[in-house]
Amino acid sequence: MATDLFCCERLQPDLRKTEKDPVIFSDFRVINNLLNLEKQYIPSCDYFSNVQTDIKPFMRKIVSTWMLEVCEELGVEKQVFPLAVNYLDRFLCNFCINKKHLQLAASVCIMVASKIRQCQYVSMETLCFYADHSITPQEMKDWELLILSKLQWNVAAVTGFDYIDHIIDRVSWGTENPLIRRHASTLVGICYTGKLRVGVFIVFITRH
């Protein structure tokens, strides 16, 4: 006699996060080390003038905005988007590509960044869907190796997002409203879609 088994157990995602380390966020040496380390991961040139022949600034604006929209739609960790843009800019400083491959490179950068900054990475199939299937999983596999090789496998970059908690903890109004951190994350994201620089604000905060 056949018996149907029913399981009512529901697995809930583990949303627990570690507490902030007061030593890390009160010691100025930490943020100074971040600033020094970040220099190693800043794009090394104006690739529109020196490297790329088919990529224009407005194309970078379009694709970075698309990357931001995809990351927001998927609900990935906030650190993923700025890290992905950092990968893309550094890659474009080192390798000339055709404009038809720009979205492919951007998709791979999102995938790699999600592997670094969150537990569950964004799959190739998902990114192909958001690219309207103009790219394939096999192309993403090939380009993942290409991009990582051009980055010399240096993927632990410091981005503007890494400074947010340090800045919030150092200003008197930083903990007054929980929305401040969210707005700061939004500002960092906007900066990475254009030419605004987060570093100027960071240096000002750390010196005052």
Q: Is the pLDDT of residue 202 over 60?
A: no
With CA atoms as reference, report the closest residue to 94 among 18, 153, 43. 43
| pLDDT at residue number 38 | 80
Domains and CATH numbers, the chain: 46-157 (1.10.472.10), 158-207 (no CATH)
Q: Is the pLDDT of residue 180 over 70?
A: yes
Top pLDDT among 200 and 24 is at 24
| pLDDT at residue number 133 | 94
- CA geometry: angle at 78 spanning 76 and 82, to 5°? 110
Contacting residues for 96 by C-beta, under 8 A, at least 6 apart: 51, 52, 53, 54
What is the mean predicted confidence (pLDDT) over 158-171? 80
| pLDDT at residue number 182 | 80
- 91-111 pLDDT, tens per residue? 999 999 999 999 999 999 999
| pLDDT at residue number 165 | 79
- 67-90 pLDDT, tens per residue? 999 999 999 988 899 999 999 999
